[in-house]
Amino acid sequence: MADYLGIPGTTEQQSEDNPSFQSICNLWAKSDHWPLEDAVRLLLNQTPKVFAKSSKNEVNPKSFNIILDIAQNCLGHSLTAIKNPHSERGLNVEPREFVAWAKKKDFAVPAELDLALNSLGPNSLDKYGSRLRQRKTNHRERVRAIAALLWSKSPEIEISEMVNRSEILEYGCEGSSYAESVLESWVADIPRKV
């Protein structure tokens, strides 16, 4: 199976079920999004959950939980995530953005992971960063337009209620997670008649 996926083991004695970490990074780098938990695992030189034989295989569950908590606390601010539409497993992150976030937060990024992402071609992090800024700007404008429309029909809606409405989260943010305070800042200056 490993040969089929293009992730051969590093030695002849390794079984097909134990591909090298570099091979896993090369395979995972091809994905558009990673579950947040798998991104943290890769950052800690661990294999994604699908490769784990049991949850007890995590090298250091405390480190995993700490970094996962930090990442979750950064969601909507310095790290963007989207809800996985095909799974209830949680949030997904874009690989390049996650690695850039980890470097910005001074987390060590495994060389294998860096190599795998950089080998994909000319998509530099600078180019990716401008795409992220554009996506955030588009979300901001969508959220503002939806909020203005909803307030024109129901001006009594409070800001805190507005930013949690399904219309805002689904259509304005397109499934991306932003902190409530960020969304509130986007709509705070929209005029409404109370």
Residue indicated by tokens 């030695």:
11
In a domain, 136, yes or no: yes
Going residue by residue through the chain (194 aa), what tens digit of pLDDT does each one get?
444 445 444 444 445 567 888 999 999 988 888 999 999 999 999 989 888 766 555 567 889 999 999 999 998 888 888 877 666 668 889 898 899 999 999 999 999 998 888 876 655 455 555 666 677 778 889 899 999 999 999 999 999 999 999 999 888 888 777 888 888 888 999 988 76
For residue 194, is it within any domain? no
Query: What's 168's DSSP letter?
Result: I
Least Cα distance to 20 among 29, 10, 30, 28 occurs for: 10
Give yes or no: residues 75 and 103 share one domain.
yes
Number of domains in the chain: 2
CA-based nearest residue to 21, from 1, 51, 56, 54: 51
The backbone region for 76, taken as left when phi is positive above 0, alpha when psi lies in -120 to 50, beta otherwise, is left
CB 28 within 8 A of CB 38: yes
Question: Cα dist. 10→57, 107, 140 in Å?
Answer: 20, 26, 47
CA distances from 57 to 20, 68, 125, 164 (A): 16, 17, 32, 38
Q: Provide the domain limits for residue 65.
A: 2-118
Note whether 99 and 21 are same-domain residues.
Answer: yes
129 and 177 together in one domain: yes
Q: Are residues 19 and 52 in the same domain?
A: yes
Q: Is there a domain that residue 192 lies in?
A: no
Asked whether residue 177 is assigned to any structural domain, the reply reads: yes
Domain for residue 156, yes or no? yes
11 in any annotated domain = yes
